[in-house]
Amino acid sequence: MTEQQTKTPYDLPDVNGLAIGILGGTGDQGGGLARRFALAGHQVIIGSRKAERAQQAAEALGEGLPVRGAENAVAASEADVVIVAVPWDGHKATLESLRAELAGKIVVDCVNPLGFDKKGAYPLPVEEGSAAQQAEAVLTGSRVVAAFHHVSAKLLLDPEVDEMELDVLVLGDDREATDLVQALAGRIPGMRGVYGGRLRNAHQVEAFTANLISINRRYKAHAGLRITDV
Amino acid sequence: MTEQQTKTPYDLPDVNGLAIGILGGTGDQGGGLARRFALAGHQVIIGSRKAERAQQAAEALGEGLPVRGAENAVAASEADVVIVAVPWDGHKATLESLRAELAGKIVVDCVNPLGFDKKGAYPLPVEEGSAAQQAEAVLTGSRVVAAFHHVSAKLLLDPEVDEMELDVLVLGDDREATDLVQALAGRIPGMRGVYGGRLRNAHQVEAFTANLISINRRYKAHAGLRITDV
């Protein structure tokens, strides 16, 4: 077995200094990721439809963090890597409106298309197969990666939580892009980015969030995944 | 928070002494589970379409283990709990032929409907939503549970492997049945049974096996899942 074959999830590029844009950064998931990446020393630009709301969300994360707010188009064009954390409802339309700004960039989709009823959460059908594949279909000029689906917004935002013990599954067909996003996940203490397959296998990773919600209810937990033997 | 609310995955029934039938026990997955449950002291009946093949498979697991082989119908009717480990191709037909024998029993489906091409594994569409839901639709008189999807057949059969470090996600709508199957998972050293949601959320757990196959390829591993914070 050669060196090249025995790839580990620790042999990854240096992502220090990359600026991160977060579309939908005014929501809990986006805001939580913004906070953690800022704590890790990244410049973060929270995007929203209205610059004012984005600025308020950035300020709400606390003083002294390198986070600012801007319109989605500004966040998309000024960041090196852009995370899509918008509600599923507005997913397609938001991405369609940002095609030009996102061209050539690594776009990280973390959206989970879920429905809720009295029995709990369940995955919604997606014409393209998954939110990530929908992003790929819309953003033909971008490098789409899927990641950060199972990260608890509550823990991300909790000042008492220093480390988040979980593996972030990173999916995509562009090896350089998935490596970079794995490295980004590793910037948050406790997290590890693990390659999780091609984009065509993103649906079940998104949908599995429904199972984590069931697990959280049953065990009063904030459950995450670890991959064993890796 | 009362005692009843803070349920843990360790407060489970005693399953000592339960006889386990394994439909499709001549395959690697079924044979591996047979071996581990026999090592844990359970009487195991491997089922196959032909009794002779089942007997050969039982003998191949080694001397001194409480495993025998029989026709599927015998394995189904004589066991207390029946695991379905048949190939996806024959899943529906096999279950339809065993409706009577499986009536009233806990039936544990561990089948992953997957396709393979040069890009690796991917989930196959299932009319009922998942293999487990197909089992539920066919076996209207049984108590269907989904579990053991992510267990590496190779590790189950490896005599060098004493402990299997992973959580077995157990899905179903019958609490007593899922508790019992969680306890069964816990009989294999290193494994823990964790409730993973209702049967309607089984598809993504089955499909996630495709991602584990990708992970195994990338990292030369036998990857499994652990659920954190539970």
Q: What domains, with CATH codes, occur in chain B?
A: 16-219 (3.40.50.720)
Distance from the B206 Cα atom to the nearest Cα atom in chain A, whole angstroms = 9
- Percentage of chain A exceeding pLDDT 90: 92
Give CA–CA dist A75/B96, Å, rounded: 56
Of A1, A119, A227, the CB nearest to B215: A227
- Bridge partners (DSSP) listed for residue A84: A23, A109
Q: Give the separation between CA A228 and CA B165, rounded to whole angstroms.
A: 7
Q: Which of B5, B11, B149, B215 to mutate to test the interface with A (most CBs of A within 10 A)?
A: B215
CA distance B52 to chain A (A): 37
Give the residue from A12, A208, A216, A222 with the most B CB atoms within 10 Å of its CB, the best one to mutate: A208
For A63-98, what is each residue's pLDDT tens digit?
Answer: 899 999 999 999 999 999 999 999 999 999 999 999
pLDDT tens digits, one per residue of A116-173: 999 999 999 999 999 999 999 999 999 999 999 999 899 999 999 999 999 999 999 9
Nearest to B35 by CA among B65, B8, B4: B65
Q: Are A83 and A27 in contact (CB under 8 A)?
A: no
Residue of B198, B207, B219 lying closest to A120 (CB–CB): B198
CA distance linking residue A55 with residue A41, whole number of Å: 19
For B76, counting Cβ atoms within 10 Å of its Cβ (0-12 exposed, 13-18 middle, 19+ buried), the class is buried
- A97 phi and psi angles, rounded to 5 deg: -80, -10
pTM for the model stands at: 0.95
Q: Identify from B218, B220, B222, B225 which residue to disrupt to test chain A contact, counting A C-beta atoms within 10 A and taking the largest count.
A: B218
Q: Which of B204, B224, B230 sits opposite A223 (nearest CB)?
A: B230
Which of chain A's residues have a Cβ under 8 Å away from the Cβ of B165? 228-229
What is chain A's mean pLDDT, rounded? 95
Report CA dihedral (B89, B95, B97, B101) to the nearest 10 degrees.
150
Query: Is the Cβ of A163 closer than 8 Å to some Cβ of chain B?
Result: no
Confirm or reject contact between A225 and chain B (CB < 8 A): yes
* Residue pLDDT, tens place only, A25-47: 899 999 999 999 999 999 999 99
| CA of A59 vs chain B CAs: smallest distance (Å) | 30
| Chain A residue with Cα closest to B11 | A219
Which residues of chain B are modeled with pLDDT < 50? 1-6
With an 8 Å Cβ cutoff, are A201 and B169 in contact? no
Of B171, B203, B210, which has the smallest distance from its Cβ to A201's Cβ?
B210
Beta partners for residue B195, in sequence order: B170
Contacts of A228 in chain B (CB under 8 A): 165-166, 223-226
Task: Please give the residue of chain A at the shortest CA–CA distance from B123.
Answer: A201
Q: Residue B223 to residues A193, A213, B211: CA-CA distances in angstroms?
A: 14, 23, 10
Residue A71's alpha-carbon distances to A24, A33, A63, A101, B196, in angstroms, are 10, 18, 21, 12, 39
pLDDT at A188 over 80: yes
User: Residue B7's pLDDT is what?
Assistant: 62
- Any B CB within 8 A of A100 CB: no
- Chain A partners of B191 at a C-beta cutoff of 8 Å? none
B227/A228 Cβ within 8 A? no
Quote the minimal CA–CA distance from A73 to chain B in Å: 33
What is the pLDDT at residue A7?
62
B210: distance to nearest CA of chain A, Å?
7
Distances in whole angstroms, Cα of residue A157 to Cα of each of A41, A77, A117, B120, B222: 16, 26, 26, 37, 34
Query: What distance separates the 2 farthest-apart alpha carbons in chain B?
Result: 55
Residues in A touching B204 (Cβ below 8 Å): 123, 203-205, 207-208, 210-211
- CA count, 13 A, side-chain hemisphere, A195: 26
Task: Write out chain B residues lying below 8 Å of A10, CB-based.
Answer: none
Band of the pLDDT at A9, cuts 50, 70, 90? Answer: confident
Say if residues A36 and A66 touch (Cβ distance below 8 Å).
Answer: no
pLDDT attached to residue B2: 40
* Residue A79 near residue A45 (C-beta atoms within 8 A): yes
Tokens of A140: 């033909």
Give the minimum alpha-carbon distance from A142 to chain B in angstroms, rounded to a whole number. Answer: 21
B154: enclosing H helix or E strand:
helix B153-157
